[in-house]
Amino acid sequence: MEKAYEMFLGQLVFSTNDPRIDIMENYDLVVDPQWLSWLDRKISSCTDVEEKMALRDLNNMILDIKKRVELSKAQEERAAKEAEEAEQQRIAAAEAEMEKGRAMSGSDVLRKAAAVDTAGVDKIVQEQSGGEKKKTFYETDLTPEIRMSYEDMCKNVLPPYKAGETVATVVFN
């Protein structure tokens, strides 16, 4: 296995393509836990500083792409779940409307038809009067995908404070 991992590492490092493209093309191999642990061992046992930095950058790139793929999968799952819930609500509303329709008299049906006839005009008037406003980014809830995407950045930007430390104690000491 050692020889195969070395060959795969050489393929990633010395490829003429962008490493991110090669990582995505070989995604299953790259995110294999055994290969990642082998790469970590290779980084820790490496004595050449430049090689160690390059391997660490490659490892960080792999982990970044792995996280992005996981985030996109989580977002797709959440979007599918929300779409399914919206469809269920639409079906429930349609069934409730059908039940109301069965109990309607002839004159009720005519009134309902007149309301449907003017529904498009009523909707336009409501939109122009500012009926239903779209939420801005600041008014929406943060999704788990958004929170996860900022974790790494915050780890890089924010210092690793210990209990009892403040910004002032870290800066002035």
Residue 137, classed as helix, strand or coil, is: helix
Block mean pLDDT (10 aa), the chain, length 173: 89 88 91 93 91 92 90 90 93 86 75 70 68 70 75 72 71 66
How distant, in Å, are the alpha carbons of 67, 89, 97 from that of 94? 40, 9, 5
Q: How far apart are CA 105 and CA 97, in angstroms?
A: 14
How distant, in Å, are the alpha carbons of 127, 147, 154, 165, 171 from that of 161? 50, 20, 12, 6, 11
149-165 exposure pattern, b = at least 16 Cβ within 10 A, e = fewer: eeeeeeeeeeeeeeeee
pLDDT of residue 105: 75
Sequence-distant (6+) residues with CB within 8 A of 58 are 12, 13, 19, 39
The pTM of the full predicted model, rounded to 2 decimals, is 0.62
Sequence-distant (6+) residues with CB within 8 A of 86 are none
